Amino acid sequence: MSSLIKIDETTVGTPANRINITDVFSADYDTYCIQVTNTLAGTQRENNSMDIQLINSSDSVITDTIYDSEMIFARGFSVSYLAVGGASRNEIGILYHDNGAQNGNGNMIMWVFNPFQSDTYTYQVQQSSGRMSYPSTTEIPYMSKGLGVLRQQSSITGYSFVNRDSYNINLGTFRTYGLKVD
Amino acid sequence: MGLKQIASETVTSATSSVDLIGTTTDDCYMIVVNGYIPTSDAADLRARVLESSTPNTTANYDRAFLAIRTDTTYSNQSNTNETYYDLTTAVGNSTGEQMNGIMYIYNANDSNEFTYITAENSQLSHTALLIGNQGSAVFTSDSQVNGIRLYPNTGTIASGTFTLYQIEQ
């Protein structure tokens, strides 16, 4: 049997600005793999994206600027990487996509470390690939690799994706796996 | 395809190194480093291949990385002919500081090929700066590698869980 144990699969049924995946992190595992596939925004926007935030044991989304995150962002219109992120942000990572008219699509693998332990910070590394719009309505492919940390010693039990500008997330599948250590 | 645990060590008291042994098939392998904290502040985590469970210390380690960090734009990092493979950048050991990461190992068991590694990690340095080294490395010797040694460049490992998985066909 694989050491990667599926915990949850959530598919967006009703478009919403925010998708919360709750009660997936526990004392059962210390390392998690989150797979996000085929996200689609409800409204077109240049640089359309979703912020990734964490949910604490009170089921509250942590929106304070206590995350650091950074990624290299390769957009299909340029030969150079863009550095996106910084310290004291309100998201642990970003996933880009766009709406159907732009063939938008967001896909990501994110590893999350020690979210449930209340005496550690929560870390992530991620890579993503998809299609977005930049500049304006020009469809382009992209990829990113990045990392992040929640600078808070707290027990994290879930995660949340929220689209910028209050636009909806129309589609997407969010799978959460725990990595077993015997 | 699935992940099969091959070896794991959880460090809870000062330990000089961790040997993860068992890359004995031609499959790809994955190492997960969870919560590495050094006893000495600003200690890097390094790796060496194991041949017959003995670390190879020859100058045959090359690497090419992007260092992604929040205080400035990313930087290219590369080295050739080193005697180790450096995974990190001055990991801290104050509150919340640690390193976590994933490594994939290719061709380890094949005595006719170099051993290749890709890696991605996320850490807070001794100045509480978020840094991640994302890239690859190669051990430039045709040899049969049966595992990886992980060790800090100074001091010892204070804590962390280090696990080797086989990515089964």
**For A19-34, what is each residue's pLDDT tens digit?**
999 999 999 999 999 9
Question: What residue type is B167 in one-letter code?
Answer: I
B137's tokens: 């490395």
pLDDT of residue A76: 86
Which residue on chain B is closest to A67 by alpha carbon? B130
A72 touches chain B (CB under 8 A): yes
Residues 63-122 of B with CB under 8 A from A: 66, 68-71, 73-74, 95-96, 98, 100-102, 120-122
Structure tokens at B115: 């051993």
φ and ψ at residue B55, rounded to 5 degrees: -65, 135
pLDDT band (50, 70, 90) for residue A1? confident
- Residue A176 confidence (pLDDT) above 80: yes
pLDDT of residue A77: 80
Q: Where are the alpha helices (DSSP H) in A55-130?
A: none
Mean of pLDDT values over A79-83 = 88
What value does the mean pLDDT take over residues A108-137?
97
Identify the helix (H) or strand (E) that includes residue A40: strand A31-41
To the nearest whole Å, the CA of B63 is away from the closest chain A CA by 18
CB A53 within 8 A of CB A92: yes
Kindly state the tokens that stand for A153. Answer: 């010693």
A72-93: average pLDDT: 92
Query: Which pLDDT band, with edges at 50, 70 and 90, does A80 fall under?
Result: confident
Residue in chain B nearest A3 by alpha carbon: B3
Q: Is the dihedral of CA A152, A154, A155, A156 positive or negative?
A: negative
Bridge partners of B28, per DSSP, are: B167
pLDDT at A79: 79
Please list the residues that pair with A150 across neighbouring strands: A67, A122
E runs forming strands in B12-156: 18-21, 28-38, 45-51, 54-55, 61-69, 75-82, 85-86, 99-106, 115-124, 130-139, 147-152
Q: Average pLDDT of chain A?
A: 97
Phi and psi, residue B42, nearest 5°: 70, 25
Q: Which residue ranges of chain B lie beneath pLDDT 70?
A: none
Of the residues A68, A82, A114, A150, the best mutation for testing chain B's interface (the one with the most B CB atoms within 10 Å of its CB) is A68
Coil, strand, or helix at residue B47? strand
Q: How far is CA A3 from CA A74, B57, B150, B168, in A?
A: 32, 32, 22, 11
Among B89, B101, B92, B100, which residue's Cα sits nearest to residue B131? B89
Any chain A CB within 8 A of the CB of B169?
Answer: no
